[in-house]
Amino acid sequence: MDEPQVLDQAVRRSGALIDYLARHLRRRTETALTPLGLRTRHLVALTVLRDRGDITQRDLATSLVLDSTNIVGLLNELEGRGLAERRRSAEDRRRHVVSLTDEGFQVLCQAETALAAVEDEVFEPLSPKQREQLHELLVAATSAASAPFC
């Protein structure tokens, strides 16, 4: 019977560390967003609206990888708070165009400030150069997964 192959002790696996750090960041992010009345899905939608400008509801759903039912619920929440607005498209009355409101922009800025503080806390042990290297490595690693965060 063949002996199980033992991994070289010099080989270090990062998956568990990345998972632990991601869970820690997620908890800290949720804590930072709660006073603003936001959840991560709100933050991502507001960021897309800011970065892409006016966008059809369908294109926003595609960007966020949401089905039509979930995008409607998300937009209802954002509109209810005055953070985004939907209006009929001038070109095609069957479509809705979604826009970030001034209030949505302000709340997004507050959220980004809070999240920068979270990252500063979590990555405090790293030098600025190490943080930049980490970011570059994560961008390289996630590009293979077609992550929209880069």
Query: Span 39-136: which CATH code?
Result: 1.10.10.10
Q: What is the mean pLDDT of each run of 10 residues along the chain (150 residues)?
A: 59 86 95 95 95 92 90 95 91 87 97 96 96 93 65
**Residue 50 host element (H or E):** helix 40-52
pLDDT at residue 146, as a whole number: 59
Give the model's pLDDT for residue 22: 94
Of 66, 53, 40, 34, nearest in space to 99 by CA: 53
C-alpha torsion 65→106→83→37, nearest 10: 80
